[in-house]
């Protein structure tokens, strides 16, 4: 089975954008219709204000929370992409 790499750009995240209900919906859809499809989910450039939102979301993920990897854009490009294949949004920082 093929697995995907999820990349979530959190640059500029603010608590006003936090929508726990939407995240719960997305988790349910992914869990019920696409189980075990994600190999890793990169949470890129998470600001310090994201921590309180993550504390609410993490329990909803159950074992999938282990797939989350907090990285900088530079780390994501170096660790998860071969040269020239990283999304341009990550490289243009």
Query: Which CATH number covers residue 79?
Result: 3.40.525.10
Identify the pLDDT of residue 62. Answer: 83
Identify the pLDDT of residue 38. Answer: 87
- What's the domain range around 20? 4-91
Side-chain half-sphere CA neighbours of 6 within 13 A:
19
Side-chain half-sphere CA neighbours of 78 within 13 A:
5
Residue 35 — very low, low, confident or very high, per pLDDT cuts 50/70/90? confident
Question: pTM of the entire structure?
Answer: 0.81
| Count of domains observed in the chain | 1
Q: What percent of the chain has pLDDT over 70?
A: 99
């Amino acid at each position: 089975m093929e697995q995907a790499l999820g990349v979530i750009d959190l640059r500029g995240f603010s608590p006003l954008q936090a929508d726990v209900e939407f995240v719960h919906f997305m988790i349910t859809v992914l869990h019920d219709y696409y189980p075990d499809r994600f190999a890793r989910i990169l949470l890129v450039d998470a600001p310090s204000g994201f921590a309180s939102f993550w504390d609410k979301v993490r329990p909803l993920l159950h074992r999938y929370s282990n797939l989350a990897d907090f990285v900088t854009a530079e780390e994501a490009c170096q660790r998860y992409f071969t040269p020239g294949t990283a999304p341009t949004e990550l490289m243009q920082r």
